[in-house]
Amino acid sequence: MSRQHPQINLSRRSLFKFGAGAIGTSVLTAGLSSNLLAAENKAPAEDDITPDKAFQELLEGNERFVKAKRRNPHQTHSRLVEVAKGQKPFASVLGCADSRVPSEIVFDQGLGDLFVCRVAGNIATKEEIGSLEFGSLVLGSKVIMVVGHERCGAVDATIKGAEVPGQIGSLLEAIRPSVESSKGQSGDKLENACKANILAQLKKLKSSPVLSKLIEEEKLKIAGAYYDLDTGKISIVG
């Protein structure tokens, strides 16, 4: 990765609207590589898309996946060459690292379509939030979907109070408040906790000054979704 940090043009002008309190331009300059900035300036031309349209495109893609009618769009060599010049994803996904929930497949999308952050338990850490801020503010993603899923192992381990080694415990600590908030609800304990966790991560994302400003300007939509491992179906949560 290049260590050179050229002047930021369009991105910096956009970021100034949030003021130094929202995100420091010096921090942004130090943290983003020249390759990413070049990607912004040379992004391939895309049709303008509204947040609602982007949201609907995700749902329609999932419906095709469930019905085994995938189109497998944007997976050709020509698309590979096109997006090598720059990216302009229409949607972002904060998903679980679970190998059974690959975003591009379950939403029937392809190269350059989705800006994906994956972490066990689909938790919105500072790093994940920062990445999604970049995806929306700089790259132009119109929707962020937080995707939790059925029988999530990280949530289940939190419910059971599992003793875990290394840094795994940090994941369970982040999920614990959601488990506590879902106690006493009727129905399946694990499903309730998984959905409560989705809602908690939505709240974190919406508390971001960068993302909340984009929502206020109707440039971004944030939604939660629950993925059924048995059917592949996405259902909206929150």
DSSP string of 203-217, one letter each residue? HHHHT-HHHHHHHHT
Average pLDDT over residues 219-234: 98
Mean pLDDT (the chain) is 87
Half-sphere exposure of 131 (CA within 13 A, CB side): 17
| Residues 138 and 52 occupy one common structural domain | yes
Residue with tokens 């999932």: 62
| Residues 54 and 129 occupy one common structural domain | yes
Best CA proximity match to 124, nearest among 140, 91, 147: 147
Q: What angle do CA 214, 220, 226 make, to 5 degrees?
A: 130
| Residues 158 and 63 occupy one common structural domain | yes
| Residues 52 and 35 occupy one common structural domain | no
| Residues 21 and 125 occupy one common structural domain | no
| Residues 99 and 144 occupy one common structural domain | yes
CB atoms within 10 A of CB 11: 20
| Residues 32 and 150 occupy one common structural domain | no
Residue 36 has pLDDT above 70, yes or no: no
Average pLDDT over residues 102-109: 98
pLDDT bracket for residue 3 (50, 70, 90)? very low
Q: Is residue 108 a contact partner of residue 72, using CB atoms and an 8 Å limit?
A: yes
CA 159 from chain center: how many Å?
24
pLDDT of residue 26: 40
| Residues 137 and 102 occupy one common structural domain | yes
Residue ranges making up the domain that contains 141: 48-237
- The last residue of one of the domains, among 41, 57, 73, is 41
Q: Which residue has the higher pLDDT, 51 or 1?
A: 51
| Residues 204 and 95 occupy one common structural domain | yes
| Residues 135 and 223 occupy one common structural domain | yes
| Residues 131 and 160 occupy one common structural domain | yes
| Residues 106 and 160 occupy one common structural domain | yes
**Strand runs (DSSP E) across 76-130, as ranges?**
91-95, 114-118
Domain count, the chain: 2
CATH number at residue 98: 3.40.1050.10
Residue 18 has pLDDT above 90, yes or no: no
Q: Each residue of 119-143: pLDDT tens digit?
A: 999 999 999 999 999 999 999 999 9
pLDDT of residue 48: 80
pLDDT of residue 21: 44
pTM of the predicted model, to two decimals? 0.81
36-52 as b/e: b if 16+ CB within 10 A: bbebbeebeeeeebebe
pLDDT of residue 238: 82
Average pLDDT over residues 58-82: 98
